[in-house]
Structure 1
C-alpha cells in the first residue's frame, strides 16, 4: 500500500514512520516509497587527515628524523586500487630491478578516461619514457617538459606526446636571462599556459622527477602558486634526501615544507616506495631505524 494512502510519513534519517491513523504501526520497509539509498561518498577515506592518525602536531612541527621518515614509510591515503605504470629493467650489483615505474591510483575518484585524460611530466632522464608511453597508449595527452631531450625524436614516439624544451627556472633567472639555448621559465607559468591553451581546469597526473638545481624552483608551485597546485588530482615526486651515510637536514626541512603544504590543501600520501636502483640505506642511531635516501612518493586529492 502506498504511503500517501495511509496518511503516513517516513523519517528516513531516524528510520521511523508516523501515521495519523490511530493504532497503525509500520516500519519504513512496510510502505512505499522506500527510503532512497544514500550514495557512499567516494572521498570519505581520502578526507582523513594524517594528523588524525598520529599523536601531536607531528606534521606541522618537525621534531625528529624519526617523525619525518614515519610519514614517508607509512602512507595514510586510502587507495584501494593501485597500478604500476611503465618502468624498465635495470641491473645493479648483479641484481635485477624494475626502475622508473610510477604508482597510479585507479579508484573511482581518479579513474582516467581515454582521449580526455592529461599527464604532465617534468624531468625525464633522456631515454626513460616508459611511463609516458604507457599513458599515451592508454589515450592520455602527455605533456613532456625536459631541456635535454630532442623534441622531434620525442614527438615522433607517439602522437599523444607534446614536447616542450623548457628548463624550469625561478624569477631571478627568468628576469636576467640565460646563456642556455633553452628558455628558462617558471613551472607555474608553464602549467598555467598549457591549462589555458587546452581549456582545461584539472590535470589527472603530475610527474616530477627533478633534481639538483631544479629543486629550488619546485617550492614555488607547492608552497606559493597553490592555485596551480590544486589543479592536479595525483602528484608524483621523486625525492633524494642527503648524501651517502647521512640525511641532509636542509633537504629534510625543504621536503617537510612541501609535505605540509600538500596536506593542508587536501592531498594525502597514498604511495611511498624506496627507489630500488638509486636508493642508499642509512641508520638513524637515535631512532634505531633504517631509512632510505631515495623515494618515489605519490599524493592524491579527492573531490566530490
Structure 2
C-alpha cells in the first residue's frame, strides 16, 4: 500500500517536474520570439531610414564659416608708430565708379629710407584716375612703379620718381602680361628690398598673392609691406567655396611671416549678415607687414 502510494507521489512529482520544464521552455521560447520580433522590427526600421551623409572633414586651415575669414582680415596684430594715410583723388565727371580707386591708401613709414635707390614701391592694378598715393611717395623720395593694363599710355615717367608700365600682372607671362618675377627681373630687383607693394583693382590682390608665394626669387622674403584692397563676394552659401579659397590665400601671408597691420572696411560696401549677426563688407583695405 505504501509502495503504491509512493509510486503515485513519484508520478505526481515527475509530472510536476515535467510541467515546470514545459512552462520554463515555453517562457524561454516566448522571450526568444519576442526578442526576434523586436530585432526584426528594429532592423526593418533602420533599413528604411536613410543613413546620414558622411561629412568630409575640413582641413584645419579652412574656415568653418565666413565668420573666420572676417575675423582674420579685421584682427590687427602689429603696430606702427609713424603712419600716413594718403586720401584718394577726387572722382572726375563721368568716371566709371565700379572700378576700384579713390579709396585712399595707408602706409607705415617706420624704417622706410626715402631715397630712390633704396625705397622701392610697386603698384599693381592701378586706376589711372587715382595715382595720388604714387605721386606723393615719389615726391618723398621713393621710386614708384605703376603697373597697369588700364591705360593707353606707353612706358613713361609720370612724375618725379614715378614710372608707368602698361602691363598686366598675371600668373603666366605673355605679350603685355608679366608675372611678379618677370617684373622683378625687368627692374633688376632680384634679392633687393621692396618697401611696399600695392594692389587696387578687383582680382589683382589674388593674382599678387599667387605670384608672391610661387616666386622663384622668393619675393616674400624681400617685400616689407603689402597693401591690398580686398574684394569679397557676398557671404552667401553659393559663395562659400570662393571665400574659402580667398581665406586660404590670405593665410599664406601669415605662413611667410606677414601680420595684419591695418584694416578698414570701405564705406558704402557694408551689409548686415543675417546669420553671423554682424556688419561685414565686400571691400576692405588691408596692409600686411613682414617683421
TM-score of Structure 1 vs Structure 2, range by shorter chain: 0.5 to 0.7
Q: Give the TM-score normalised by the residue count of structure 2.
A: 0.67
1:287 to 258, 276, 286: 276
Contact map agreement 2:78 2:259 (CA 8 A) in 1: yes
**1:157 paired to 2:155:** no
Tell me by how many angstroms 1:245 deviates: 7.9
1:185 to 172, 178, 183: 178
CA distance in 2 between counterparts of 1:297 and 1:130 reads: 18
3-state SS, counterpart of residue 248 of structure 1: helix
**1:300 paired to 2:274:** no
1:232 to 209, 223, 232: 223
Which entry has the higher C-alpha Rg, 1 or 2? 2
Q: Which residue of 2 aligns with 1:113?
A: 114
Q: Aligned runs of 1:161-176 on 2, under 5 Å?
A: 161-171=162-172, 174=173
Give the superposed CA RMSD: 2.9
Tell me by how many angstroms 1:73 deviates: 2.1
CA distance in 2 between counterparts of 1:167 and 1:237 reads: 16
Q: Which residue of 1 aligns with 2:200?
A: 209
The more displaced of 230-239 and 162-171 is 162-171
CA distance in 1 between counterparts of 2:65 and 2:209 reads: 22
CA distance in 1 between counterparts of 2:209 and 2:115 reads: 31
Contact map agreement 2:206 2:246 (CA 8 A) in 1: no
Tell me by how many angstroms 1:188 deviates: 2.8
Going from structure 1 to structure 2, the CA distance change for 1:73 and 1:59 (only over 3 Å counts) comes to farther
Q: Which residue of 2 aligns with 1:146?
A: 148
Tell me by how many angstroms 1:233 deviates: 0.5
Going from structure 1 to structure 2, the CA distance change for 1:101 and 1:88 (only over 3 Å counts) comes to same
CA distance in 2 between counterparts of 1:199 and 1:228 reads: 8
Tell me by how many angstroms 1:289 deviates: 0.8
Q: Aligned runs of 1:1-304 on 2, under 5 Å?
A: 60-89=61-90, 99-107=102-110, 110-115=111-116, 116-151=118-153, 155-171=156-172, 174=173, 183-194=176-187, 197-198=188-189, 201-212=192-203, 214=204, 217-225=207-215, 227-243=218-234, 248-276=239-267, 279-302=268-291
CA distance in 2 between counterparts of 1:294 and 1:137 reads: 29
Unpaired runs of 5+ in structure 2? 1-58, 93-100
Q: Whose helix fraction is larger, Structure 1's or Structure 2's?
A: 2
Contact map agreement 2:225 2:287 (CA 8 A) in 1: yes
CA distance in 2 between counterparts of 1:143 and 1:68 reads: 31
Contact map agreement 2:88 2:105 (CA 8 A) in 1: yes
3-state SS, counterpart of residue 160 of structure 2: coil
Summarize deviations over 1:19-41 as a string: whole Å, max 9, x none: xxxxxxxxxxxxxxxxxxxxxxx
Going from structure 1 to structure 2, the CA distance change for 1:207 and 1:59 (only over 3 Å counts) comes to farther
3-state SS, counterpart of residue 73 of structure 2: helix
Q: Give the TM-score normalised by the residue count of structure 1.
A: 0.65
Contact map agreement 2:158 2:164 (CA 8 A) in 1: no
